[in-house]
Amino acid sequence: MNKISMSDKILNINNENIELENDSKVIVNGKSKITVFNKYPNNLSLEVKDDSEVLIEDFRIIEEENTSIKLIMGKNSKLIYNHSFINKKEYNLNILTEYQSDNSIIKINVHGINNNGNTNIRIDGILGKNVGNELYESIRLINENNGKATIIPNILVDCKEVVANHAATIGKINENELNYLMSKGIEFKSARKLILNGFIINIFESTDLIIKIKEILNWR
Amino acid sequence: MLKVENLSVEINGKEILKDFNLNININEIHAIMGPNGIGKSTICKVIMGDPNYKVTKGSIIFNAFDLLKLDITERARLGIFLVNQSPIEIPGVTNAEMLRIALSERTGKNISIFEFNQKMEEICKRLAIPISFIHRGINEGMSGGERKKNELLHLWMLEPKLIILDELDSGLDIDSLKIVCQNILEYQKNHDCSILIISHHTELLKSLNTEYIHILSQGKIIKTGDLSLAAKIEKEGFKGFSVTNNVSENQKNE
Ligand SMILES: Nc1ncnc2c1ncn2[C@@H]1O[C@H](COP(=O)(O)OP(=O)(O)OP(=O)(O)O)[C@@H](O)[C@H]1O
Ligand SMILES: [Mg+2]
């Protein structure tokens, strides 16, 4: 995997696996994969070219971040953005999706834990007049300790032949899950840790990334 | 082994059990039958220690321990094991991860990975489930029947002394039901343990050699018999037993 760290440069990737560390503008061709592991590309613009496909897997531990992610889709393109985070202080995340043509799919999955942190997510989807596009947004946030969160979704559609789905939940750790694990003889503290870890890694496909995340997670 | 005495239980202010009594000795197999919503799952969850249920009266003693003073973890470590009517999934937490922690916390020792894996693989074969289940998220994306088998994987690893099976047969096809029953009987043959079964089906109770059948009504057991009682209920329903669903309604009538 190539480690990329540069500013204000346009990065062309073609059937590649890259790891992003800084603000970037990326143009995707072919079938590519982008990983972010506890680095902060806070201004990320991504253009997926016609007939291209990209999987983005993004994990961050947040102290104080303002992050803007722009996803621009060409014709017959596909994008999956899996993002999980642990927020200890303040996280403002804006995601903008834009379809420039027809028949493209975007799937956005966000799992966040506000461990004393405050998270504000704004997610805008512009589908316009183009046909055959699909947008799936699923955001789940867990508030721990004094965590807080807001989610503001916005979907603009000017055409019937599209699918647009937004699902969001903000809540506490699931008590039934805690009770279940305790009923196997696991202590409350370990049960909580298992559930939070599971929640964070659960949305990722890459086993390498999952292993790396598990190594650094440590709950208080 | 298990002695429940004069137990009254509420959920959200509604009384579900009232002066409920049940005695299970070591190596005995008991079943509770009763119509939907009568409080069968409530009994199971209260014994396990689900904090959503409020015990207003009575006691539950398990091998001389007062369960009402213990939390869920402590009860599990005494050897109580519940297979829920519909086991939930815990995404991202694998069977192996959960069981390793459960075992190492219980024994205070590190688990030998080699022996652990070997044992897990043997159990998977015994339950006719793929070995890949070992590293799958707990019940994650599993069908109803697969979940029940997955719970039995936990059972074999954790080696409980009191097994509570809440509608074990729901979700299981005939072949799976056979495998599951064989597994439970085999486990019981090799361990000193007792079983409490909730079921609507005589066939299951028969194949698990159930000795005592109890009928639950108005928050308590109103009749106890053997398998012939189960057969009678399956044929005629609960009509002949003046079974009432609601504890408070019954109080009004009294
Ligand atoms: N969380 C809850 N809040 C309010 N009422 C509840 C709750 N959980 C259970 N009950 C009520 O308690 C009663 C007993 O429920 P329980 O699940 O024990 O029944 P059951 O005998 O197991 O029924 P089934 O055969 O359908 O499984 C029911 O009337 C049910 O609606
Ligand atoms: Mg029930």
**ipTM score for this prediction:** 0.93
Q: Tell me the two tokens of residue A212.
A: 């790396």
Of A177, A185, A187, the CB nearest to B158: A185
Task: Give residue B80 CA to ligand 1 midpoint distance, Å.
Answer: 21
pLDDT in tens, A173-184: 999 999 999 999
Closest residue (by CA) to atom 13 of ligand 1?
B37
Residue with tokens 């369960």: B67
Q: Is B37 in the pocket of ligand 1 (CB under 6 A)?
A: yes
Q: Do A188 and B50 touch (CB under 8 A)?
A: no
Q: Is B249 in the pocket of ligand 1 (CB under 6 A)?
A: no
Structure confidence at residue B250 (pLDDT): 44
Structure confidence at residue B244 (pLDDT): 63
- Bridge partners, residue A80, by sequence: A55, A107
The number of beta carbons lying within 10 Å of the beta carbon of residue B238 is 17
Q: Tell me the two tokens of residue B248.
A: 């408070």
Task: Give residue B216 CA to ligand 2 midpoint distance, Å.
Answer: 12
Of B228, B160, B223, give the one whose Cα is nearest residue B194.
B160
Give the pLDDT band of residue A217 (cuts 50, 70, 90): confident
Closest residue (by CA) to atom 30 of ligand 1?
B37
| Percentage of the residues of chain B whose pLDDT score is greater than 90 | 87
Q: Is B38 in the pocket of ligand 1 (CB under 6 A)?
A: yes
What is the rounded distance in angstroms from the CA atom of residue B254 to the CA atom of residue B246?
A: 13
Of A39, A82, A78, give the one whose Cα is nearest residue A57.
A82
Calculate how close chain B gets to A206, using CA atoms only, in Å: 13
- Bridge partners, residue A108, by sequence: A81, A137
Question: Please, are residues A8 and A28 in contact by the beta-carbon 8 Å criterion?
Answer: no
Give the pLDDT band of residue A2 (cuts 50, 70, 90): low
Q: Which ligand is nearest to the CA of B11?
A: 1
Pairing of strands B14-24, B2-11: antiparallel
Ranges assigned E (strand) in A100-147: 105-115, 118-128, 134-144
Of B2, B18, B56, B41, give the one whose Cα is nearest residue B217.
B18
Give the pLDDT band of residue A160 (cuts 50, 70, 90): confident
State the average pLDDT for chain A: 93
Q: What are phi and psi of B245, to 5 degrees?
A: -80, -35
How does A132-148 read in b/e, with b if 16+ C-beta sit within 10 Å?
A: bbbbbbebbbbbbeebe
Q: Is B11 in the pocket of ligand 1 (CB under 6 A)?
A: yes
Which helix or strand (DSSP H or E) is residue A36 part of?
strand A31-37
Q: Do B76 and A199 touch (CB under 8 A)?
A: no
Task: Give residue A74 CA to ligand 1 midpoint distance, Å.
Answer: 52
| Higher-pLDDT residue of B241, B63 | B63
Q: What average pLDDT score do residues B143-168 get?
A: 96
DSSP character string of B42-99: HHHHHHHT-TTSEEEEEEEEETTEEGGGS-HHHHHHHTEEEE-SS---EEEEEHHHHH
- By CB atoms closer than 10 A (0-12, 13-18, 19+), residue B129 is buried
Residue B60 has pLDDT above 90, yes or no: yes
User: What are the residue ranges spanned by the domains of chain A?
Assistant: 2-173
Let me know how many helices (H) and strands (E) chain A has, helices first: 3, 13
Of A65, A125, A127, A140, give the one whose Cα is nearest residue A95.
A125
Task: Give residue B91 CA to ligand 2 midpoint distance, Å.
Answer: 24
What is the rounded distance in angstroms from the CA atom of residue A117 to the CA atom of residue A91?
A: 8
Chain B residue nearest residue A184, CA to CA: B76
Chain A residues within 8 angstroms (CB to CB) of chain B: 176-177, 179-188, 190, 194-195, 197-202
Calculate how close chain A gets to B108, using CA atoms only, in Å: 12
* Chain B residues with beta carbon closer than 8 angstroms to that of A190: 101, 105
Task: Give residue A114 CA to ligand 2 midpoint distance, Å.
Answer: 35
pLDDT in tens, A28-37: 999 999 999 9
- By CB atoms closer than 10 A (0-12, 13-18, 19+), residue B218 is buried
Angle at B242 between CA B237 and CA B246, to 5 degrees: 100
Task: Give residue A52 CA to ligand 1 midpoint distance, Å.
Answer: 51
Those residues with Cβ within 8 angstroms of residue B74's Cβ, 6 or more apart along the chain or in another chain: none
Which residue from B12, B20, B41 has its CB within 8 A of the most atoms of ligand 1, so it is best to mutate? B41
Q: What average pLDDT score do residues B31-58 get?
A: 96
Structure confidence at residue A219 (pLDDT): 66
Q: What average pLDDT score do residues B116-127 get?
A: 96
Q: Is B16 in the pocket of ligand 1 (CB under 6 A)?
A: yes
Structure confidence at residue A1 (pLDDT): 58
* Chain A residues with beta carbon closer than 8 angstroms to that of B51: 179
Q: Do A198 and B93 touch (CB under 8 A)?
A: yes
pTM for this prediction: 0.91
Q: How far is CA A87 from the centre of its chain?
A: 14
Tell me which of A35-39, B32-36, B106-110 is least confident: B106-110
Q: Tell me the two tokens of residue A153.
A: 């979704």
* Helix A188-201 × helix B95-107 angle, to 10°: 160
pLDDT in tens, A88-120: 999 999 999 999 999 999 999 999 999 999 999
* Chain B residues with beta carbon closer than 8 angstroms to that of A188: 71, 73
Closest residue (by CA) to atom 17 of ligand 1?
B41
What is the rounded distance in angstroms from the CA atom of residue A51 to the CA atom of residue B179?
A: 49
Q: Is B42 in the pocket of ligand 1 (CB under 6 A)?
A: yes
Of A204, A144, A187, give the one whose Cα is nearest residue B98.
A187
Structure confidence at residue A157 (pLDDT): 87
Closest residue (by CA) to atom 14 of ligand 1?
B39
Closest residue (by CA) to atom 10 of ligand 1?
B11
Which residue from B16, B197, B199 has its CB within 8 A of the most atoms of ligand 1, so it is best to mutate? B16
DSSP character string of B99-147: HHHHHHHHHSSPPPHHHHHHHHHHHHHHHT--GGGGGSEETTT--HHHH
Structure confidence at residue A4 (pLDDT): 56
Structure confidence at residue B191 (pLDDT): 96
